[in-house]
Amino acid sequence: MSAANNQRVLLGMSGGVDSSVAGHLLCEQGYDVVGVTMKVWPQDCISRAEDKCCGPQAVADARSVAHSLGIPHYVVDEADQFERLVINYFSSEYQAGRTPNPCVMCNEKLKFGSLWSKALALGCDYIATGHYAIVEQHADRAVLRKGADPRKDQSYFLFSLRQPQLRHALTPLGAMFKPEIRAIARSLGLKVAEKVDSQEICFVPGNDYKAFLRSHLPEEEFHQGGIYDLDGTFLADHAGIEMFTIGQRKGLPGGSAQPRYVVDIEPATNRVIVGGAEDLISEEFEIDRVNWVSRGVSEESIEVTVKIRYSHPGAKATLYPLPESRARVKLWEPQKAVTPGQAAVFYDDDVVLGGGWICRAPALAPA
């Protein structure tokens, strides 16, 4: 308790129950807490996202909680940065035939990125969030671990944070379970105690990314082309590779005895390649922009557990470091729908060793 005295922390407040209880816990631990809510909605999002963390209701809820906790509350306008660093990234990844992960980018670039300048301006020593992950401060480095609640663990979304960011990060909910959080909120009489958790990308109404892209991108920026099977047979036209992702089954032409899935997307030719379920299986893949989180850069192969998407349970693999911040991941058991653009995060038990971005495999269709 005493170590926190006189230390000021900027708390990112989304208006939800998690960040609200995080504020209460930090106050109890003796920190001088300053609540900040990022206004990240662009004008074309606000009318459709009133109930989301990018909507005005979130600001009102956060302000109300801050008042209840007796802490100051500020709103910072990050709409331009959010548009440039998250939304434009989201769109351009689909245009490149990859499937983006905007939550990772938002954490790295905004919540633990541009927000740090606001923290410094307010005299803060740390940035705190309501993430379900554990950040341990050791003498030589910060260590990122899974949150105690396996159903809520969000360490996957923090893999791209660098050591300077983790050194100034506090995650007070990491060792707690969701029912505990709601019980604390009820005991404090917070109006957000029963607020439903968002399960969607905050700026994509109804989780319909295709509708969002149609509203966000001009028609001429969609990459139209053809749908082909693995032997190069043309099956149908499509309105844009942006409408497809690896493993997708809906929206594909029929006429096959077995279900068809998207098994590859070729941005160079605008081809969408389809095949059977067995064609989605991968034994190895490469990642780039590798960030080593809780240990130094590895130059030798290591055994890890890798998650190839947030909802993935994890699979045993051997990681072979390559030059230029790349690595090859050899899976011990083949996995389905390894998707370019998604993050592959590798663990040693509950410790996040690091992660990288899944690269495109060589084109499956014949030349």
* Closest listed residue to residue 294, CA positions, set 131, 126, 145: 145
> Mapping DSSP to helix (H, G, I), strand (E, B) and coil, where does residue 243 land?
helix
- Would you say residue 317 lies in a domain? yes
Residues 64 and 141 in one domain: yes
CATH of the domain at 112: 3.40.50.620
Q: How many CA atoms lie within 13 A of 63 on its CB side?
A: 10
User: Which stretches of the chain drop beneath a pLDDT of 70?
Assistant: 1-5, 42-55, 199, 361-367
Q: Among residues 53, 54, 103, 202, which one is catalytic?
A: 202
Give the CA distances from residue 32 to residues 14, 69, 125, 172, in Å, rounded to whole numbers and listed in that order: 19, 12, 10, 14
Q: What is the pLDDT of residues 308-363, one digit of tens each?
A: 999 999 999 999 999 999 999 999 999 999 999 999 999 999 999 999 999 986 54
Residues 319 and 334 in one domain: yes
Residues 127 and 253 in one domain: no
Number of domains the chain is built from? 3
- Would you say residue 366 lies in a domain? no
- Looking at 206, 233, 260, the residue that finishes a domain is 206
Active site residue 124: no
Separation between Cα atoms, residue 357 and residue 285, nearest integer Å:
10
- Would you say residue 72 lies in a domain? yes
Question: What is the structure's pLDDT at 43?
Answer: 56
Domain extent for 110: 2-206
- Would you say residue 139 lies in a domain? yes
Please tell me whether the overall predicted TM-score, pTM, comes out greater than 0.85 for this model: yes
Residues 317 and 352 in one domain: yes
Separation between Cα atoms, residue 166 and residue 136, nearest integer Å:
9
* Closest listed residue to residue 69, CA positions, set 181, 170, 191, 182: 191
Q: Among residues 103, 106, 124, 359, which one is catalytic?
A: 106
Residues 266 and 285 in one domain: no
Active site residue 202: yes
Residues 175 and 232 in one domain: no
CB 138 within 8 A of CB 237: no
Residues 246 and 335 in one domain: no
- Would you say residue 343 lies in a domain? yes
Residues 20 and 143 in one domain: yes
**Is 209 buried (19+), middle (13-18) or exposed (0-12) by CB count in 10 A?**
buried
Residues 41 and 185 in one domain: yes
CB 160 within 8 A of CB 146: no
Residues 335 and 351 in one domain: yes
CATH of the domain at 331: 2.40.30.10
